[in-house]
Amino acid sequence: MVRPPQQLDSRPPRWYSHEELAAIYAESDTRVPWWRFFGNTGLRRSEALALIWDRVLADRVRIISSRESRTRSRRWRDVPLSPGAQGSLETLRRSAVSERVLPGLRPHNLTRAFRLDAARAGPGGRLHDLRHTFCSHLVMGGVPLRTVQVLAGHASITPTGRYARLAPESPARSGHGA
């Protein structure tokens, strides 16, 4: 028996330009630190919601795969903190009331809040598009695909390869993701 492919359509990942990110941040008011954190770390929603302050170090966040909160690749990783991510974490720490970086948020509510902010700002999109944005901007900045794979927590290079067309040396590199 031949199984049909899991993915029946293929599109480039949707990512945000710096201008679109600025518009989303301007629209979202109190949630700006959340969106900046996602856009500057590329964490999956589940990873960010499970993140505790003890795993936020001066220059990186440590993502742990455990029985309570398993990562998709089932591997731990360190994600370096850009100035944007550090600024977001400083803001979040000032209002910290829990051991969690993003306390009391339900996955669905977080996703819905981003969808509303992005729609009001103009570009629309999904929370996961901030992860695509993180990976896309790294590749456009000349970061090797293997490094992007490790930072994104991809178990294989295959999903990371979707960003290869954005590499500076790529002849297929074009403007903005669809």
CATH number, position 31: 1.10.443.10
Q: What is the pLDDT of residues 52-87, one digit of tens each?
A: 999 999 999 999 766 565 555 557 789 999 999 999
Q: What per-residue confidence (pLDDT) applies to 11?
A: 77
Q: What is the pLDDT of residues 82-116, one digit of tens each?
A: 999 999 999 999 988 899 999 989 999 999 999 99
Is 108 contained in some domain? yes
For residue 106, the enclosing domain spans 18-166
pLDDT at 165 over 70: yes
Is 121 contained in some domain? yes
Q: What residue type is 122 in one-letter code?
A: G
Distance CA 21, CA 133 (A): 9
169's CB contacts (< 8 A; 6+ apart) are none
**Which of 99, 147, 115 has the alpha carbon at shortest distance from 45?**
115
Rounded to the nearest angstrom, the gap between the alpha carbon of residue 43 and the centroid of all alpha carbons in its chain is 4
Is 47 contained in some domain? yes
Mean pLDDT computed over every residue of the chain: 88
pLDDT at 173 over 90: no
**Which of 82, 31, 81 has the alpha carbon at shortest distance from 51?**
81
pLDDT at 162 over 80: yes
Q: What per-residue confidence (pLDDT) applies to 161?
A: 92
CA atoms within 13 A on the CB side of 69: 13
Q: What per-residue confidence (pLDDT) applies to 28?
A: 85
Is 44 contained in some domain? yes
Is 11 contained in some domain? no
Provide the number of structural domains found in the chain: 1
Tell me the helix, strand and coil percentages in the chain, rounded to 5: 50, 5, 45
Q: What per-residue confidence (pLDDT) applies to 75?
A: 73
